[in-house]
Structure 1
Amino acid sequence: MIVSITGATGFIGRRLVQKLAEGDHEVRVLTRSKENAKLLFPVEKFPKITIAGEFEWKDCIQGSTAVVNLAGMPISTRWSSEVKKEIKDSRTRVTSKVVDLINGTSYDTRPSVLISATAIGYYGTSETKVFDERSPSGNDYLSEVCRVWEAKALGVDKDVRLALIRIGVVLGKEGGALAKMIPFFMMFAGGPLGSGNQWFSWIHLDDLVNLILEALKNPSYKGVINGTAPNPVKLTEMCEKLGEVTGRPSWLPVPDFALKAMLGEGATIVLDGQKVLPLKAQELGFSFKYPYVRDALKAIISL
């Protein structure tokens, strides 16, 4: 395959590029910072990678087998009105551009598939409801971001297969929520964040990347697919398991006010949760390497 990727320098994108390169596929990294991308993907280690600045995106997308759109500013940060605007704009701007470039290519040179990231924030939060791909959208800020983001991707021409992957909390060592939680545990201060009763819908980084790879190759993967593991847990259990695998106690809770002081409104992504199930992936026969959170954490911590 020839795969063009936005957000390739991010936490998920880096692993995806690595896996595609290992599979001998050609990767085109669509970036706004060629310098940064060249540092992450040095030519001697990644000889089959093309690094393209924004003015080169069109040429890269033309002739690609597929496009994977992962771009977007990280949301686990302190939200100001400017940051909230950039969280939304960074997703919609790039998705619009990618869709316009695909639609603007001739039928014989255009990609046949677009995998576009979105998030389980689409569903809103709840301690009692269970969400799957058929569930309606919520009514908070992140739900709105996801609706607008997905609407941009849905503008792609109908002859291009579209898979919208609503991604949960991605667990890996080099980034995401876990990278922020591990230092708490190593300082003997790990514990539930807030009440601990909120649902934590997670997925191991390798399972998410394998889900994307499967969606690239398998024509049955289309429409909305939840990128979460089949066994979400309450945050209390997540913290207990993290305590077990790091050999640290996990009884000392991190109070709501401490998180709010650190993340402001952005604390809602850990203080409020949702139980999201990957029904579509399971119906399609996708095999999760890490269906249980303890195994996922054990694999990550032992790296």
Structure 2
Amino acid sequence: MRIAISGGSGMIGSAITKELVESGHDVYILTRSTVNRSSEPHIQYVRWLSANSYPEQELEGIDAFINLAGENLNSGRWTPAKKDKILKSRLQATRETVRILHALEKKPKVLINGSAVGIYGTSYSRTFTERDTEPGEDFLADVVTAWEEAAQDLPDETRLVYARFGVVLSTEGGALKKMLPAFQLYAGGKLGTGEQWMSWIHLEDVAKGVVFLLDQEDLEGPVNFTAPNPEKMKHFGKTLSVVLGKPFWAPVPSVMLKAALGEMSVLVLEGQKVLPDQLTAHGYTFRYPKLKEALENLVT
């Protein structure tokens, strides 16, 4: 298949691109940068969201589009300007994606649009699946709701999937990379109460799961990208300490995290228990369904 991907240079996008190429697909990576001819087989770069760029002219005949573009949630305090950029970057990329799809003479079979489990809001007690349709009432829920709505005006021929990512585990970036130094320096401990849920997923399952979706013609709408065994934060930390052979003893109070991170502290102090019902119902087999095996693969 010929597949376009925006956000293809990020942690998730790079892993998906690698999986696509290894699976025999041709990949077109959309970029704002000046485009040079790729030296990598099966990968081409296409300029978009820049002056005088018309990506549809180079994307005619693509079979699928994967849109992951958007400002990184973890790249700084959530000031009013940062929050505005988080929202607007996602809306701009998604609206441009929709425009491109309408401009193509041959419509792609599927758009897999990035999304997040943050749409469900936070809870210590509830379990969320794709059947939950009432969004939460915080900033992230509002962003994801608007992000998904921006993708809805697609050509009738194009199937729409919202890939709702949980906490993606990788040593290349994200939450795990930020947590590792403290544990490696014997200063690891629970964050806040430790009772908050962490709906995690190994990066490899993200990449393989997205490729899996390409051929599931009856699967559309929201798809949760979380492992089938979410953990509370205190159990996550204890498991990481065991895998690393380090102690688990220095709790970080919620008030300190809120002071250091501001509103962004919601990413580690609050969470939600989210299950991947759609992936499992359609026969996807997780490579890393349990946390200990996932962490052992990543950090040992």
Q: TM-score range by the shorter chain?
A: over 0.9
Amino acid paired to 1:275:
K
Give CA deviations for 1:21-42 in whole Å, capped at 9, x if unaligned: 122211100011247xx7xxx9
Aligned residues: 294
Mapping of residues 84-123 of structure 1, within 5 Å: 84-106=83-105, 109-123=106-120
- Please name the residue that 2:199 is paired with: 201
Mapping of residues 266-281 of structure 1, within 5 Å: 266-281=264-279
SS for the counterpart of 2:229 is coil
C-alpha distance in 1 between matches for 2:245 and 2:256: 24
2:41 to 39, 47, 50: 47
Structure 1 pair 19/34, CA: closer, same or farther in 2 (3 Å)? farther
Give CA deviations for 1:4-62 in whole Å, capped at 9, x if unaligned: 00000111001111111122211100011247xx7xxx944x22211111114222332
C-alpha distance in 1 between matches for 2:41 and 2:108: 22
SS for the counterpart of 2:222 is strand
2:293 to 282, 288, 295: 295
Mapping of residues 205-284 of structure 1, within 5 Å: 205-284=203-282
8 Å contact kept, 1:169–1:200: yes
1:162 to 137, 160, 176: 160
C-alpha distance in 1 between matches for 2:281 and 2:15: 25
- Please name the residue that 1:5 is paired with: 5
C-alpha distance in 1 between matches for 2:58 and 2:171: 31
Amino acid paired to 1:70:
L
SS for the counterpart of 2:214 is helix
Give CA deviations for 1:244-290 in whole Å, capped at 9, x if unaligned: 11111122112223322332110111111100111111111111111
1:179 Cα deviation (Å)? 0.7
C-alpha distance in 1 between matches for 2:260 and 2:89: 23
8 Å contact kept, 2:38–2:45: no
C-alpha distance in 2 between matches for 1:204 and 1:60: 33
C-alpha distance in 2 between matches for 1:68 and 1:281: 17
1:63 Cα deviation (Å)? 1.4
1:221 Cα deviation (Å)? 2.4
The percentage of counterpart residues that share the same residue type is: 40
8 Å contact kept, 1:4–1:30: yes
RMSD in angstroms over aligned alpha carbons? Answer: 1.4
Check if 1:190 corresponds to 2:188.
yes
8 Å contact kept, 1:4–1:66: yes
C-alpha distance in 2 between matches for 1:7 and 1:60: 17
- Please name the residue that 2:26 is paired with: 26
SS for the counterpart of 1:209 is helix
Mapping of residues 126-141 of structure 1, within 5 Å: 126-135=123-132, 136-141=134-139
Structure 1 pair 81/279, CA: closer, same or farther in 2 (3 Å)? same
Amino acid paired to 2:258:
K
- Please name the residue that 1:82 is paired with: 81
C-alpha distance in 1 between matches for 2:259 and 2:187: 17
Mapping of residues 138-153 of structure 1, within 5 Å: 138-153=136-151
Structure 1 pair 56/27, CA: closer, same or farther in 2 (3 Å)? farther
Amino acid paired to 2:109:
S
Give the TM-score normalised by the residue count of structure 1: 0.94
8 Å contact kept, 1:92–1:149: yes
8 Å contact kept, 1:61–1:67: no
C-alpha distance in 1 between matches for 2:284 and 2:25: 21
- TM superposition outliers: structure 1 runs of 4+ over 3 Å: none
Q: Gaps spanning 5+ residues in structure 2: where? A: none
8 Å contact kept, 2:167–2:199: yes
C-alpha distance in 2 between matches for 1:123 and 1:61: 34
